[in-house]
Amino acid sequence: IEEIRMMKILIGSPVRQKKSILQEFLLGLEEMDIGDNQILYYFVDDNADLESSELLVSFSQRNNAIIKKGTELCGIDVDYENHIWKAGALEKVTLYKNEIIDYCIKNKFDYLFLIDSDIVIDKRTLNQLLADNVDIVSNVFWSQWKTNGILSPQCFWIPEIFTQHKEFGVPLSVQEAGQIIEETNAQLKISGLYKVDGLGACTLIARHVLEAGVDFRAIPNVRIPGEDRAFCIRAGALGFALYMDTHYPAYHCCKEIYLDRVDEFKRDGWKFDMCQTFEDDNKKAKPLPKERKFIVRVGKKLVRDFSD
């Protein structure tokens, strides 16, 4: 019988979060099954709320954790309702994530598990991601990026669906793009491991990937916003495949209204009527907006192949 080696894992997160949401995030980490692995938590505390900072301190007193104070660059400017991050916020998050990467490399952790502070994970998540035995893998979660919108996974094409086509410069129609998104999302609702073009927010990364230079710095000659996209482009350029694990979807608790169903999630697992908000109870989700950018190409069973 092959002996299972204990892994040294750094779990890192830049934190600027409401106390109520942060509390559930931290509780999820404490309830996670870590097996026999050696775990260290690394938080960058960029909280504006003193009570949120106190939660991190309390967590560190019960667990093996490092807390670093955030660097004052500029004010965070984020529209959480529509998931819009402005340049100052991205600059900070990039700095913090790369700081965590540097610590991981210098202290020779086997893996870095980067997770956003509004994610509540299934307790089986870490062991499942380790069992995948791939270089980079994100655990799926489903989000409604805009009020009245559809639920989508945190996967995306690079740069985006409406300009990517077999013939250079010939865009897909909105109808074609919407059909691809619908088919892809249906595939990702089935438990499995899928090869994707883009991922983030709940990602297990092997140290040798980080040592090769994969990080979150902006790429000067690539005009694609978002630190996760820079990470994914670097990974692809260096030959590392990206995977999405859909066995145990996490709960994206990005709004306080979603807190009401956290206990239900922990008891019964993810349900596809969670994490949705509407303008009123009788209003159905709007059709896919033209500017939609989140999409994935599924690996072994490609929804649609644009590689020719």
How many residues are present in the chain? 308
pLDDT of residue 147: 81
Note the pLDDT tens digit of each residue in 57-68.
999 999 999 999
Which structure tokens are listed for 190?
């089935």
- The predicted model gives 89-115 an average pLDDT of 96
> Across residues 74-94, what is the average pLDDT?
60
Separation between Cα atoms, residue 53 and residue 182, nearest integer Å: 40
Predicted local confidence at residue 184, as pLDDT: 85
Convert the pLDDT of each residue in 250-270 to its tens digit: 999 999 999 999 999 999 999
**pTM over 0.95, yes/no:** no
Strands 84-85 and 78-79: antiparallel
d(CA 114, CA 202): 6
CA 36/CA 33 separation, integer angstroms:
9
**Residue 167: its pLDDT value, please?**
53
Note the pLDDT of residue 123.
97
pLDDT range class, residue 121, cuts 50, 70, 90 = very high
Q: What is the pLDDT of residues 279-308, one digit of tens each?
A: 765 555 555 544 444 334 444 443 333 333
pLDDT at 72: 62
Averaged confidence pLDDT in the chain:
84
DSSP readout, 254-266?
-SGGGGGGHHHHH
Task: Please tell me the predicted confidence (pLDDT) of residue 41.
Answer: 98
Least confident of 128-132, 160-164, 180-184, 212-216: 160-164
Residue 34: pLDDT band (50, 70, 90) is very high
- What's the rounded Cα separation, in Å, for the pair 215 and 69? 21
AA identity, residue 107: N
Mean local confidence (pLDDT), 134-153: 91
| pLDDT of 215 above 70 | yes
